[in-house]
Structure 1
């Protein structure tokens, strides 16, 4: 029994807060979803969650130009240096205080990074053994520039000069290491706080964008080659001529915003294509040509505020992040064709239920916003949204055929939706309004055919959840005392209990005034789920942890921690008693002096009892809890519905992202050397990494038939998929020469990796269909040949018998 489930992905989260970034390939987008990062690979129509987790919500992402490393900042001021390719956390440091780091940018060569903390700019060199630096981050520069916050920062093309702007409405241009004698800190003034500053052209000319929609071009008086390096003779004063700036062009884009009372919120520049994009608080964005500021496109992307923009390297696609939290939306817009490349949005309120389709290819979710969404399990994209419910959805399920879904709502109705035409084809309501719950501490088993029930079973406490095991022999009931009672389905006799109260490790919330041990007495598990083989059962509820139990042994097998995000309430096991006052916890008071109400991360609670609806006066963090759990029909993964979304836990190792990056020592001579040494598995893996078809064919056909099984088993799943695609592209003339050999190879490949290939069926199905078509063609060709030979042989035998008969007769 394998219980080594690991976190794999988050479904139902596309963007929460912070900025989104295009990778250098121009077709992949990196988006923050709470304390995790999600990558959308638009060309492959895939998405995945990186195996790196922050301790709080991510507020800023910086990518180097090669896209291999990222620098991530969260709400608490903690910074993470990440290898994006291998999904590895390289270093963690704490630089800012609270939410003070508003900007982070890599230098053009990727060797340094600049951070804006308050009114300061800090420069760090990143670890390089070749340069003799073994510590991941070493500070080499520190500039105190303003008493107000700095909002934006940009490196020049040569990495020697930076420009920044902030709330004090001043643009500053300064050198990274104070290495120039004719440059100190050039300043330029704007009328409103700065949103973005850019270097453009081949020099140090600056483009500034402020909150009022004004775009101003500042021309530098010196060219890069005219800067004089500082020496001992330049200690006192500046050398003339010094670097200064002159305003040459100004344009106001606010007139294109479409309404009054709005302000500019985000900006992005593509220097290669000379495109400037700006966005406003009413959801409108503009795309302008840089030289004349002519508006190429004016479009309203959403009713929500646009927080972030980014343009890919080719200048064709625009990534837009709208809203915040549950209302957030991620859009990738192709401006030339005026079409959406990607438009995804999660539920606007807490997700309450989830269900797998019978083939495990789809997920359906329901939420308190009354919407029902269907998600593709393999790429985590939303396919369709149903909005017929007028109140919160409490539960969802698929029909046995998988062609329809049923959803129940607090409005008292059950709606059936067709997955072929995507319509609500039936609505079922009770004859009279009633409330269905369990207040009498009883369990009843009903016969669906004749509507009869067995004798009610008395429970010790109120029932919170009840589940039939997939085998149909066991009924599990979770009661309010966190005890799971197991009953025989046909006789309703109790066969055992699983005590789970001691496994609830409830965290302390900011509203709690009692001790941790006392708090746990009021917390309980609220939902359970059986595995497809009925041997395992999951239990979760009002806690940051959920547990996996063995049904036959009634034992705890594993405890899973849901999240380490301290931006959620109930994650920490204890609270800071220094924050307790006579008026309550200090964290519940809105102590922020920020004028930008929409930029605040903390939610606000207006009145007691309105935590899920109108949020205003008191700041409060969402509480972490488990709302629903469901096993996949394959048993290889399960889904957990929590405050963060739908988390997927799987038995399959995280080996999906393994690019075939060549190393210097991997050469054809090395492949043939391993082949001569009869290291067939190693040679095949190296040949697949080289991706040279003749070399792969030579290695494959060199494997002895009796060793095919062992060579295939030695491959990782990523190389098995690569081999499958190579077989699909193989010429039929090559296949026909060694048909039986390749049939054995394909059989062993599908037998060893059938489950893994099925989990990624959307990507592997074309290759499998191609192989099937090739084998069918070979079968038809051989069938014709064998039938013809068979008929010829039968004719020859018949002629011989006839001749023998004539001979004997004569």
Structure 2
């Protein structure tokens, strides 16, 4: 069996954080998901995740006008240049600070990034090989606080930058004599978006308090006049003022990381002086409009403007969005798409489709405003995914999460086509019946539910006589028997799928039942428990415990070989033991603790080597030929072992995202203090709209800290029925 597996696609998440982009033809939406980039083809109803990744979560994406290049920037300001044609990384670059936005010019020759209170303009990489693909042209200073947004004029002559200091700055991309910089006020809150009119310098700005300002320029783009370049201006000053030799050498300054900063333009609140009698560009406020006229005072969180159709789309913290026609400010329609904050908005090239991203729910929507219908509507698990199962034909994948939802995904398209929301607590396990048309799920809400994939409904609900939290699940080969293990009462409950009645309650375990598995060849059920035993229950002998297998530690997972002749058990001490299912004799064992290579969490007081003693494999799956076994657990690695030789064949790293906790074996010594790592210091994000509510003692959901890093781990894994694909959830 070959194990040359490589990353194929990402299911379970469609949007996390950052801005959205549409492709050049407008038929695909590009969404950042963690540290990867997903492309959703809206016409062919298919998704694809690029085989490239950043070191941390992506915060902003810049797409070139021809759609061939994309710039991905992560939380730390590390950027990669990706070819969307070849799906390859072309260049790496570090901006040294978090980047707020990236935008290519319409002609594709330059791009601007904003970080802190500065806007940096770079030459866009060309089609030829270059030593430095990101060559800095100009640095623009002016805002007194963080910059938030960028927009270019249609002729690429000027661009505008919005800021948290409630001002908007208009800069010239070239050295114009009548427009070096211009500062616009008029707002009482953070500027969320700034947009130029088509073929004009007229500007629209929207702020977080729901205010729209319309600015009218007294100059057309064609009236911009070329000014003197830096060297020419210095030479003219030298002739006029006879500057000294020391002052003549300040032509080019050096920036961060030793890069050449090029020409530096520093704006101020004062209007720049006129050169050679040329009248400067001036703006006046044409009008001011308010979105919160009814007094609901919703925070405006995202905005997008389509220059051709003059349509402004604004999203709010309550999940409501408005469509207005400018400059008349006519409301086309208003709709609520979610009860969570809208984090990103984008419009395609024709202006017909509007993309919305909701980071709180992990939701991605594409809305056609003319027909008032959804073109695309997907939502991933907004909490941890806990379970995974393949259908017998390998066409579908069912997942369950801590959000209480069961989702079924098409493996060909990568999209979710049905979501079941009947569970009221975390889903701990899911499985398909042998027919492939029924999905069974177990939950901590005390129910086991069966869902029909023909009618998309919950047709059976199994409950126990006494309330119990189900942590494990198994269905026999005929699909007639459903059993679930409880983690609080230590019992196993058996139901009939046909009648929905409880047939038997199996007692004997002295700890939570962690895993169940039916034998494929015989009427035997295997159950692993934290009481350091695996019990084999004989279906033909009134469900008595046929054998009791004694383990070296707590049982975490159990799996039968496809022929039913062998049983694999993962224990808490990091071992995988193999047993003959007929004689109950141990055939061998694999010590896999060292293969897990658990990383050290920021809050750990001990080293990764010491903490790995409490880590183990939590999920097992045999290969189709039964010669190998796939194992995953409290680690970022998934291991494939040869059972006969008891050796490690292959080890896969499921993620390189440093935004997750326990990714590295050693913590940065520069951040270590006598009180712990500085990474645990909650810097906070102020009282802004993006800050979650802090709840003490919460381990899931919003978490108890504003500064939270989810831990990397593998919750469940499976080989596909064909053996060509293995899937896992983390």
Same fold (TM over 0.5): yes
Task: Work out whether 1:165 is the aligned partner of 2:256.
Answer: no
Match for residue 340 of structure 2? 304
Deviation at 1:210, TM superposition (A): 1.5
Distance in 2 (CA, whole Å) between partners of 1:342 and 1:104 is 25
Match for residue 91 of structure 2? 91
Distance in 2 (CA, whole Å) between partners of 1:457 and 1:233 is 87
Ranges in structure 2 where 5+ consecutive residues have no aligned partner: 238-272, 469-488, 491-511, 514-528
* Pairs within 5 Å for 1:746-761: none
For the 8 Å contact 1:604–1:620, the answer to whether it is kept is: no
Number of residue-to-residue matches in the alignment: 630
Match for residue 248 of structure 1? 286
Distance in 1 (CA, whole Å) between partners of 2:145 and 2:213 is 21
Which digits, 9 at most, give the CA deviation of each residue in 1:304-347, with x for residues without a partner?
000110111111110000133xx221110111111111111112
TM-score by length of 2: 0.83
Distance in 2 (CA, whole Å) between partners of 1:129 and 1:412 is 60
Distance in 1 (CA, whole Å) between partners of 2:219 and 2:151 is 18
Distance in 2 (CA, whole Å) between partners of 1:259 and 1:626 is 47
Match for residue 530 of structure 2? 439
Change in 2 beyond 3 A, CA 1:370/1:525: same
Match for residue 729 of structure 1? none
Match for residue 632 of structure 1? 720
Which digits, 9 at most, give the CA deviation of each residue in 1:91-118, with x for residues without a partner?
1111042xx3111100112121101111
Task: Work out whether 1:580 is the aligned partner of 2:669.
Answer: no
The structure with the greater share of residues assigned to strand is 2
Distance in 1 (CA, whole Å) between partners of 2:436 and 2:650 is 31
TM-score by length of 1: 0.75
For the 8 Å contact 1:356–1:362, the answer to whether it is kept is: yes
3-state SS, counterpart of residue 52 of structure 2:
strand
- Which residue of 525, 531, 536 corresponds with 2:617? 525
Change in 2 beyond 3 A, CA 1:208/1:459: same
For the 8 Å contact 1:605–1:620, the answer to whether it is kept is: no
3-state SS, counterpart of residue 514 of structure 1:
coil
Match for residue 114 of structure 2? 116
For the 8 Å contact 1:605–1:611, the answer to whether it is kept is: no
- Which residue of 488, 491, 495 corresponds with 2:580? 488
Task: Work out whether 1:641 is the aligned partner of 2:718.
Answer: no
RMSD across aligned positions (CA): 1.9
For the 8 Å contact 2:368–2:374, the answer to whether it is kept is: yes
- Which residue of 305, 313, 326 corresponds with 1:277? 313
Task: Work out whether 1:188 is the aligned partner of 2:184.
Answer: yes
* Pairs within 5 Å for 1:533-612: 533-598=625-690, 606-608=695-697, 610-612=698-700
Match for residue 64 of structure 1? 64
Task: Work out whether 1:332 is the aligned partner of 2:366.
Answer: yes
Match for residue 693 of structure 1? none
Distance in 2 (CA, whole Å) between partners of 1:391 and 1:3 is 37
Distance in 2 (CA, whole Å) between partners of 1:418 and 1:386 is 10
Deviation at 1:225, TM superposition (A): 2.2
Deviation at 1:589, TM superposition (A): 2.6
* Pairs within 5 Å for 1:94-173: 94-97=94-97, 100-128=98-126, 134-173=131-170
Change in 2 beyond 3 A, CA 1:336/1:430: same
Deviation at 1:181, TM superposition (A): 1.7
Task: Work out whether 1:469 is the aligned partner of 2:469.
Answer: no
* Pairs within 5 Å for 1:413-432: 413-432=447-466
Which digits, 9 at most, give the CA deviation of each residue in 1:716-767, with x for residues without a partner?
xxxxxxxxxxxxxxxxxxxxxxxxxxxxxxxxxxxxxxxxxxxxxxxxxxxx
3-state SS, counterpart of residue 124 of structure 2:
strand
Distance in 2 (CA, whole Å) between partners of 1:67 and 1:128 is 13
Match for residue 646 of structure 1? none
- Which residue of 268, 292, 315 corresponds with 2:304? 268
3-state SS, counterpart of residue 107 of structure 2:
coil
For the 8 Å contact 1:365–1:374, the answer to whether it is kept is: yes
For the 8 Å contact 2:389–2:398, the answer to whether it is kept is: yes
* Pairs within 5 Å for 1:633-712: 633-642=721-730
For the 8 Å contact 1:333–1:339, the answer to whether it is kept is: yes
Distance in 2 (CA, whole Å) between partners of 1:526 and 1:513 is 24
Distance in 2 (CA, whole Å) between partners of 1:171 and 1:15 is 29
3-state SS, counterpart of residue 8 of structure 2:
strand
For the 8 Å contact 2:432–2:438, the answer to whether it is kept is: yes
Larger mean Cα displacement after TM superposition, 385-394 or 622-631: 385-394
Match for residue 709 of structure 2? 621
